């Protein structure tokens, strides 16, 4: 088979596409004929190399993908050849105290397909049964491949960790990216008033198309100043059922979704109203920002970490993707032989939504 691969960490020049040994499936594995894969910033960081990440080389990346079941291991019971499936990326040990209590994202042995182990940007992939979900007929392969990782991440951030309620206000940073464009739609679905940031006027218009009431071009304006000005004018928020119990009348939003990291951290905290919650799932611009601790304790702020989602949460959000409630935006679809270009699209923040790659044999 052909696969995307790299043998060393580095720039986009280390990314290759070519012959690779066919995968061997274990008793709990499903062999998938991959029809499409999708990229995340995780692929960029894996390619560059992260502290503590020890990969078997050559490494096949890819934490998002979808295709048709070719064969199954002897212990597999949920799928059979011909089924349409998509990868959900996260693997849990099923044995530690967190798994036994149903808190899979906190599993002490948790790891991600494509980051810690071989990924799915290849013509064939052997995938553990537990990391697959069924894809209904009628859902195109680009959508099936691009939805799971970002939508499960955004769903858990907003619906579980931040517990957003109708009538609250939510600021989503980087609304044109994968997690960002999912978070705008989910926050709007939850009944919140949504604000967003984008790096251009075009990206801001895109965020408003997805459900944001207003979007701020952070290349031109300080988004924290703009948010305080907007929310100060709005005052106490109401819903059809009356005022939200959580909404404060002071400047700022109730929830900030920050997956950017060091470059936005201070302004994210400054954008929160008293009692507000900052929820984060990543740090693409750096993981060690300076923090004004005074602001956190004086304003009674909460900082919430979030990673991926539980199987039940994945089912909840993907049901709404499959039925069209949420839209997966695809910025570009490329052959896997052009995966280096796909990495550049993410690194240069070009376009809106997800970047999809398909095996050259599928095009």
Percent of the chain with pLDDT over 70: 91
Confidence of residue 358 (pLDDT cuts 50, 70, 90): very high
Alpha-carbon distance 208 to 221, whole Å?
A: 17
CB 104 within 8 A of CB 310: yes
- For the chain, give the mean pLDDT: 91
CB count within 10 Å of CB 171 equals 34
SS3 292: coil
Question: Which stretches of 73-163 are assigned E, i.e. beta strand?
Answer: 84-87, 90-91, 111-112, 124-128, 132-134
Rounded to whole angstroms, the Cα distance separating 301 from 334 reads: 43
> pLDDT: is 335 or 283 the higher one?
335
pLDDT of residue 330 exceeding 90, the answer is yes
Helix (H) or strand (E) holding 242, with range, is: strand 242-243
Does 59 sit behind a cis peptide bond, omega within 30 degrees of 0 on the bond before it? no
pLDDT tens track for 61-80 = 999 999 999 999 999 999 99
**Phi then psi dihedrals of residue 14, to 5 deg:** -80, -10
Contact 246, 164 (CB under 8 A): no
Is residue 242 over pLDDT 50? no
* Confidence (pLDDT) at 109: 67
10: confidence class by pLDDT, cuts 50, 70, 90: very high
* pLDDT at residue 285, rounded to an integer: 82
State how far the Cα of 276 lies from the Cα of 168, in Å rounded to an integer.
Answer: 10
Strands 330-335 and 354-358, sheet pairing = parallel
Each residue's pLDDT tens digit, 136-182: 999 999 999 999 999 999 999 999 999 999 999 999 999 999 999 99
CB contact at 8 A, 276 and 295:
no
| Cα 204 to Cα 123: distance, rounded to the nearest angstrom | 36
Of 126, 63, 87, 33, residue with least CA distance to 314: 87
Structural element, H or E, at residue 17: strand 16-19
Q: Find out whether 356 and 57 touch, Cβ atoms under 8 Å.
A: no
CA 196 – CA 180 distance, rounded (Å) = 9
Query: Hey, which residues does 64 pair with through a beta bridge?
Result: 38
| Domain spanning 151-305: CATH superfamily | NAD(P)-binding Rossmann-like Domain (3.40.50.720)
Quickly state the pLDDT bin for 248 (edges 50, 70, 90). very low
Q: If phi over 0 gives left and psi between -120 and 50 gives alpha, with beta otherwise, what is residue 280?
A: beta
Confidence of residue 234 (pLDDT cuts 50, 70, 90): low
Strand, helix or coil for residue 331: strand
Provide the pLDDT for residue 8: 95
Residue 247 binned pLDDT confidence (cut-offs 50, 70, 90): very low
Q: What is the pLDDT of residues 270-303, one digit of tens each?
A: 999 999 999 999 888 888 888 989 999 999 999 9
Report the predicted TM-score, pTM, of the whole model to 2 decimal places: 0.92
Cα 38 to the center of its chain, rounded Å? 11
Instruction: Compute the distance between CA of residue 255 and CA of residue 273 in angstroms, rounded to an integer.
Output: 8
- Ranges for all domains in the chain classified under CATH 3.90.180.10: 2-147+328-362
Other C-beta atoms lying within 10 Å of the C-beta of residue 323? 10
Looking at residue 240, what is its pLDDT? 46
User: Is residue 241 predicted with pLDDT exceeding 60?
Assistant: no
At 119, the pLDDT band (50, 70, 90 cuts) reads very high
Q: What is the pLDDT of residue 262?
A: 86
In the chain, where does the domain assigned CATH 3.40.50.720 lie?
Answer: 151-305
What CATH number labels 2-147+328-362?
3.90.180.10
Least confident of 78-82, 182-186, 257-261, 299-303: 257-261
């Amino acid at each position: 088979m052909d696969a995307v691969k790299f043998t060393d960490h580095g720039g986009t020049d280390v990314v290759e596409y070519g012959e690779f040994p066919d995968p061997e499936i274990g008793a709990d594995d499903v062999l998938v004929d991959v029809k499409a894969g999708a990229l995340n910033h995780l692929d960029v960081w894996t390619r560059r190399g992260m502290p503590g990440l020890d990969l078997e080389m050559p490494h096949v990346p890819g934490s998002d993908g979808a295709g048709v079941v070719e064969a199954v291991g002897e212990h597999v019971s949920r799928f059979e050849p011909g089924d349409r499936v998509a990868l959900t990326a996260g693997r849990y040990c099923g044995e530690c105290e967190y798994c036994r209590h149903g808190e899979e994202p906190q599993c002490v042995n948790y790891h991600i397909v494509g980051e810690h182990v071989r990924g799915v940007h290849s013509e064939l992939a052997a995938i553990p049964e537990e990391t697959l979900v069924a894809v209904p007929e009628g859902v195109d392969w680009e959508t099936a491949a691009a939805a799971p990782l970002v939508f499960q991440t955004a769903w858990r951030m907003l619906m579980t960790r931040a517990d957003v309620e109708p009538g609250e206000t939510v600021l989503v940073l980087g609304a044109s990216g994968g997690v960002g464009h999912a978070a705008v739609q989910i926050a709007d679905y939850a009944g919140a008033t949504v604000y967003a940031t984008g790096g251009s006027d075009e990206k801001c218009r895109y965020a408003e198309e997805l459900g944001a009431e207003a979007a701020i071009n952070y290349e031109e304006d300080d988004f924290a100043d703009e948010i305080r000005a907007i929310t100060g004018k709005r005052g106490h928020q109401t819903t059809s059922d009356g005022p939200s119990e959580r909404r404060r009348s002071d400047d700022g939003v109730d929830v900030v979704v920050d997956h950017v990291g060091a470059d936005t951290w201070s302004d994210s905290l400054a954008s929160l109203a008293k009692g507000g919650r900052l929820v984060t799932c990543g740090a693409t611009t750096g993981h060690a920002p300076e923090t004004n601790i005074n602001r956190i304790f004086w304003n009674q702020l909460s900082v919430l970490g979030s990673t991926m989602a539980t199987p039940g949460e994945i089912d909840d959000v993907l049901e709404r993707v499959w039925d069209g409630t949420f839209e997966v935006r695809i910025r570009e679809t490329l052959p896997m032989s052009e995966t280096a270009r796909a990495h550049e699209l993410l690194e240069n923040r070009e376009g809106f939504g997800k970047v999809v790659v398909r095996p050259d044999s599928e095009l």
